[in-house]
Amino acid sequence: MSLRPFNRHRNTGFSLVEIMVGMVIGLLSTIIVMQVFATFEGQKRTSTSGSDAQTNGGVGLYTIERDVRMGGYGFADAIGCALNRSFNGTALASLALAPVMIGNGTGANGSDTLTIIASNKTSWSVPIRVIVNHAQAATEFNTNATLGIAQGDLLIAYEATTPPNCTLFQVDNANPVLNPIDHTAGSWNGNSAIFPAAGYSTDALLINAGSFMMHIYSLDANSNLVFGDYLSATNTTNSQILSPDIVSLQAEYGFDTRAGAQTDARVDTWSATMIDADVSGTIGDAGDINRIYALRFAVVARSGLMEKPLADGSCDITTASPTWAGGAIDLTALANWQCYRYKTFETVVPLRNMLWR
């Protein structure tokens, strides 16, 4: 009986050539996988940063719009009046009572600044009437009601003279507040010089501003949308970042420039600055402010990802400035501005308190 010879060929394994071919195939596969991964990762980061810009811009737009809708609440009768005020006995610069004010190009990168003013009284903000003449040095107002007034509230005394008189003072009465309304003590009292020399007559109104809401929206040098909340207790403004990667805030007033008194409110002129809307010869007076019925504004959000530049160091991701209803928005002051993607959010906000009055 003979045995089958041992087959050495079946036990020799892979040859060197086969191993090298396998390594080449593996390396090529790895290179392809890494290239696909890098491309996918870049697209994912672009999509993610675009989503962040969508969120940041949307939050900024919604927050500003909500505040603008409240502009002028509670003091529509006194719109346009120059408010005289003092804090701890020191007179402050007068403040124009306007539902919204645009600081044209006063923010970072030439962006606008928006200031919204309103009463923040949550219970009642109904004007009450003065029933006894109030001399300049007097320390109390006799009124026909005290509904909704509480100790520490800031009230605006208003009389439609030419020009109108407006004075801010603080309620000093203990709760519940009864007539007459005293304004002897408190941070916003103690300076009779802010009252008109002739005092206030029985045609004057008292407007409850609560603690006086004033919100300020602006951009800082790091492209953040900043929210400023005025604190009347200390006469200071507390600022905080509302949305990052906001590179521009642009706004325009909506004026009704039709001649004469109108029975309806209609916007026929948009302007980034105050104009002589009532053709009185004076720009920015009470007549002009009373003809503002809407505000349109735009927020430009930037993606957080700087795209890869071309070989020469330039970028062509964005080749033209963003635009809105007010025109082109110049971003050339920003470094590498063409290396980013942008989203523009814009809206028109009716000033309902100007319309409802």
Kindly provide the residue ranges of all beta strands, DSSP E only, lying in the chain, ordered along the sequence. 82-87, 90-96, 100-103, 113-118, 128-129, 140-141, 154-159, 165-170, 181-182, 205-208, 213-219, 224-231, 236-244, 246-255, 269-271, 292-302, 323-324, 327-328, 342-350
State the sign of the Cα–Cα–Cα–Cα dihedral 141, 147, 149, 155: negative
**Whole-number mean pLDDT of the chain?**
88
- The backbone torsions φ and ψ at residue 115, rounded to the nearest 5 degrees and listed phi first, read -120, 120
pLDDT at 40 over 70: no
**In terms of DSSP bridges, do strands 213-219 and 165-170 run parallel, antiparallel, or are they unpaired?**
unpaired
Q: Are the CB atoms for 245 and 304 separated by under 8 Å?
A: yes
Q: Are the CB atoms for 271 and 294 separated by under 8 Å?
A: no
Residue 183 lies inside a defined structural domain of this protein? yes
DSSP class of residue 130 equals B
Residue 236 lies inside a defined structural domain of this protein? no
What is the pLDDT, as a whole number, of residue 94?
A: 93
Enumerate long-range contacts of 3-9, CB under 8 Å, 24 or more apart: none
Split into its structural domains, the chain has a count of 1
Residue 170 lies inside a defined structural domain of this protein? yes
Higher pLDDT, 96 or 41: 96
Q: Are the CB atoms for 158 and 141 separated by under 8 Å?
A: no
* SS3 assignment for 161-203: CCCCEEEEEECCCCCCCCCCEECCCCCCCCCHHHCCCCCECCC
Q: Which amino acid is at 334?
A: L
Residue 261 lies inside a defined structural domain of this protein? no
Residue 221 lies inside a defined structural domain of this protein? no
Residue 117 lies inside a defined structural domain of this protein? no
Q: Are the CB atoms for 86 and 194 separated by under 8 Å?
A: yes
Q: Which residue has the tokens 């300020």?
A: 216
Distance in angstroms (rounded) separating the CA atoms of residues 86 and 193:
9
Residue 118 lies inside a defined structural domain of this protein? no
| Mean pLDDT on 264-283 | 93
Q: Which amino acid is at 255?
A: F
Q: Is residue 296 very low, low, confident or very high in pLDDT (cuts 50, 70, 90)?
A: very high
What is the pLDDT, as a whole number, of residue 54?
A: 87
Residue 28, judged by CB atoms within 10 A of its CB (0-12, 13-18, 19+), counts as exposed
**Could you read off the pLDDT of 91-146 as tens digits, one per residue?**
999 999 999 999 998 888 889 999 999 998 887 777 899 999 999 999 999 999 99
pLDDT at 214 over 90: yes
Distance in angstroms (rounded) separating the CA atoms of residues 211 and 89:
18
| Mean pLDDT on 36-40 | 60
What is the pLDDT, as a whole number, of residue 10?
A: 56
Check which CATH number belongs to the domain holding 200 and give it. Answer: 2.40.30
User: Which structural domain, as residue segments, surrounds residue 157?
Assistant: 124-210
**Could you read off the pLDDT of 148-205 as tens digits, one per residue?**
899 999 999 999 988 899 999 999 999 999 999 999 999 999 899 999 999 999 989 9
Residue 132 lies inside a defined structural domain of this protein? yes
Q: CA-CA distances (angstroms) from residue 327 to 121, 144, 250, 274, 317?
A: 38, 51, 10, 18, 21
What pTM does this model have?
A: 0.84
